[in-house]
Amino acid sequence: MIDYQPAWRRYRIWRSLAILVWLGFFPVTYLAGVIGKHFDVPSLFIVAALVWMLFMASTVAEVSWVRCPRCGKTFAVKMFFNLLPPVFVRRCVHCGLAKFSNG
């Protein structure tokens, strides 16, 4: 039997990072705004927000287009768009492999 756990471990890391990045958007931009106001750099807020949004987009893209360890196709997205957010998909949309299973 093939062990899929290293692939799932990688997925869990990216998923956790994506959740942390989403939750951290408002605190980070608020902190950048406060620091920018203190040091008289008003553009720091905009720069921090834009950089953080790029960070959010890249982590969400990584979670969305994760490859199924069994079939090698995208786990949660069959076409370009999927109605269910990829985090909530429980089985591979191509081969039916259950999330976090070994086959």
Residues that bind Zn ion (CB under 5 A): 68, 70-71, 92, 94-95, 97
The distance of Cα 5 from the centroid of its chain, to the nearest Å, equals 19
- Calpha distance 90→96 (Å, rounded): 9
Minimum Å distance from CB 56 to Zn ion?
26
Q: Which is nearer to Zn ion, 29 or 74 (CB)?
A: 74
Within 10 angstroms of residue 16's Cβ, the number of other Cβ atoms is 12
Minimum Å distance from CB 5 to Zn ion?
16
Q: Which is nearer to Zn ion, 48 or 92 (CB)?
A: 92
With beta carbons less than 8 A apart as the criterion, state whether 102 and 3 touch: yes
Q: Which is nearer to Zn ion, 48 or 68 (CB)?
A: 68
Minimum Å distance from CB 97 to Zn ion?
5
With beta carbons less than 8 A apart as the criterion, state whether 9 and 102 touch: no
